[in-house]
Copies of this chain bind each other. A is one copy, B any other.
Amino acid sequence: MFKNKVKNFFTFVFLSILSLFSVNSASASSSPDETAFIFNTLLFLICGFLVMWMAAGFAMLESGMVRSKNVSTICLKNVGLYSISGIMFYIVGYNLAYGISEGGYMGSFTSFTAVEDIATGYSAHSDWFFQMVFCATTVSIVSGTIAERIKIWPFFIFAAILAGIIYPIEMGWQWGGGWLASIGFSDFAGSTLVHAAGGAAALAGAIIIGPRIGRFASDGTSTPIPASSIPLATLGTFILWLGWFGFNGGSQLAIGSMDDAVAVSNIFVNTNIAACAGLIVSMILSQTLYGKVDVTFALNGALAGLVSITAEPLMPTAYSSMLIGGVGGMIAVLGTQFISSLKIDDVVGALPVHLIAGIWGTIAVAITNPDTSFLTQTIGALSVVVFVFIVSVIVWSVLKITIGVRPSEEEEVLGSDKNEVGIEAYTIK
């Protein structure tokens, strides 16, 4: 035993000296660098599976909010869009975002290739996984707004383009080190890059596709269409909330030092508090304005609080986070009314929650992060939103003109579960 120990000791000394000359020496296995590498990789994997889980959250939220005749379809769309995103972001998305030159506008149309190097500080594959689930989240936002009147395959084609091309391009502007990063824009975990972008694509879809039959009467009044399952919508919200710890916490990108561990913890707390405040504000507002505590407002209030804090979950104090999230909660309630007044049919309320609260959260960064300015934040948010909106309008329009995006009126009334999926969501027997 002693002999072994002595041998180990000299091996260690030898390898330590060796490590001066070689990056990938075996001695790395006990080095602080390697420990940090493992911690950081673990952060990406854990936070990555939490964000992956958000795909289930969107599926449940949307299943609960649509009518029962379209529930099988929305389930299919959600598993489908996650799968399509998972493939597209490998084939083209990642390199389109991260293959960008400094200050540039677009990376390359090439397939992801993992190069593992201890100097990176984390496993390349763990990073890809973490980035991919963000891509899928962006696409998930779209399916909710335009549910119940878009056919399955046109939706999947749009999902592939959004996941593979549109999202990676605008995301690379900032996280890939492109022009937005160069002008000093700041978006910690994606209030703009993910949420407002997803919202802009959804808005384009909602406008081009039009509202569901019966949603807005010709005399200008609107008819609320009841949700099929509130507990599933609640479950979906809880899943999203849980996943958001991964979304924001993992965006610290490292947990291999005390400073990073403290930062991730701080992010967890701020993220949670913003969601709490968003929910409470939306409940109070709902009671005040409508005399009832509409549970869908409460759920969207929490989500809007989460979206709002996503652009900067690290710098604010807990009380600032309450404020930022609380404004998000207001947006969830008032924004819904606003979108409806524009005769835009947003089935799950994703436009106030992701688009408007996303822009709010991005601009609010300037309040708590001294390295940013209102001007730069506004430029960043609007550039992304306008870009995604315009490209999405073009893609939706081309789809509409070519293969068509809507079912016939008869089919829409029948419901897409019978029509396109062939399986009804609920059968009691």
Contact = CB atoms under 8 A, between A and B. Distances in A.
Contacts of A55: 238
A101 interface: no
Contacts of A84: 276, 280
Interface string A267-308: 011001101110110010001001011111011001000000
Interface residues of A, number: 125
Interface in A43-78: 44-46, 48-50, 52-53, 55-56, 59-60, 63-64, 67-69, 71-73, 75-76, 78
Interface string A72-91: 11011011101110110010
A242 interface: yes
Interface stretch (A28-36, A190-198, A204-212): A28-36
B245 A49 contact: yes
A56 B429 contact: no
Interface string A312-352: 00000010001000000000000000000000000000000
For the complex formed by this chain, how many copies does it contain in all?
3
Interface stretch (A122-130, A354-362, A393-401): A122-130
A6 B64 CA distance: 60
A227 interface: yes
Contact of A6 (B20, B28, B260): B20
Nearest to A427: B226
Contacts of A298: 76, 79-80
A217 interface: no
A56 B235 CA distance: 7
A287 B42 CA distance: 39
Contacts of A19: 5
Contacts of A227: 423, 427
Contacts of A114: 266
A261 B427 contact: no
Contacts of A273: 86-87, 90
Contacts of A302: 79, 83
Given A34-B257, A79-B302, A293-B420, A56 B239 contact: yes
A23 interface: yes
A273 B136 CA distance: 13
A265 B423 contact: no
A161 interface: no
Contacts of A426: 228-230, 428
A9 interface: yes
Contacts of A129: 265, 268-269, 272
B29 A60 contact: no
A152 interface: yes
A202 to B, nearest CB: 21
B318 A276 contact: no
Contacts of A242: 49, 52-53, 56
Contacts of A23: 1
Given A29-B32, A38-B257, A423-B226, A268 B125 contact: yes
A265 B45 contact: yes
Given A264-B45, A292-B421, A29 B257 contact: yes
A253 interface: no
Given A29-B32, A45-B249, A277-B87, A63 B231 contact: yes
17 contacts: A9-B20, A29-B256, A30-B35, A37-B261, A42-B42, A42-B261, A67-B429, A71-B231, A79-B238, A118-B258, A125-B266, A125-B269, A126-B261, A129-B272, A230-B425, A293-B420, A294-B421
Given A68-B428, A228-B427, 15 more contacts: A34-B257, A38-B257, A49-B268, A75-B233, A79-B299, A79-B302, A83-B277, A84-B280, A112-B318, A116-B262, A123-B264, A129-B269, A230-B426, A293-B422, A294-B421
